[in-house]
Structure 1
């Protein structure tokens, strides 16, 4: 699957409808973003079972702000709507492929259990 451009309006539904979503936050004026784009596109074509999304931070300023983007490119990976990776900076094809394999290999039940434990922690401290 080729990359897809998403907006603030599309973002929640994209996470809802797809098991794994990688998101590249980028801007037209960003040199490293332009260098990373062909790598991202190539790896997306090698992994048609994953959604590779792109967010133009200039057009989608509120989404970039909500995601806490302070440097671009920033790559985020979601598995079953859970953010499992977020890192600024461009990576090469081998590193991106490695990330994709790592996200696929995650024990998602364990991830959900950790998220639930973290969410319960503040409640327990408040008692």
Structure 2
């Protein structure tokens, strides 16, 4: 997963493909539970870009997108949020949310 910061965020989310961004923090136990799931799905969804942004180190981006609970996952296509979820979800739910985002951008 690509590590984003305030300098790289806007460029990365404005791609012509689905970009999944995990908003997380080092101290967050649910974040630590979600990371291996996203890393596994990154291998499955090879046409999707997976990235993470530490909210403690990049508070301006977190504030801009109204991130108050972590983990929060936002899915971007050409800079627009096309899907999202909050909290550590089971792999099946995360996969389904990614598939919904893919269907939305294909429509």
TM-score with structure 2 setting the length: 0.91
TM-score with structure 1 setting the length: 0.78
Higher helix fraction (1 or 2)? 1
Residue number among 62, 83, 86 corresponding to 1:85 in the alignment: 83
How far has the Cα of 1:79 moved from its partner? 2.0
Higher strand fraction (1 or 2)? 2
Larger radius of gyration: 1
Q: How many residues align?
A: 107
Extract unaligned runs of 5+ from structure 1. 110-127
Matches of 2:7 and 2:71, distance apart in 1: 21
**CA distances 1:3-36 after superposition (whole Å, capped 9, x unpaired):** 1111111111112234111110000000100111
Residue number among 25, 29, 32 corresponding to 1:31 in the alignment: 29
Higher relative contact order (CA 8 A, sep 6+): 2
Quick one: structure 1 residues 31 and 20, their matched pair in 2 at CA, closer, same or farther if it must change by over 3 Å?
Answer: same
**Aligned-residue CA RMSD in angstroms?**
1.4
- Post-superposition, which runs of at least 4 consecutive aligned residues in structure 1 deviate over 2 A? none
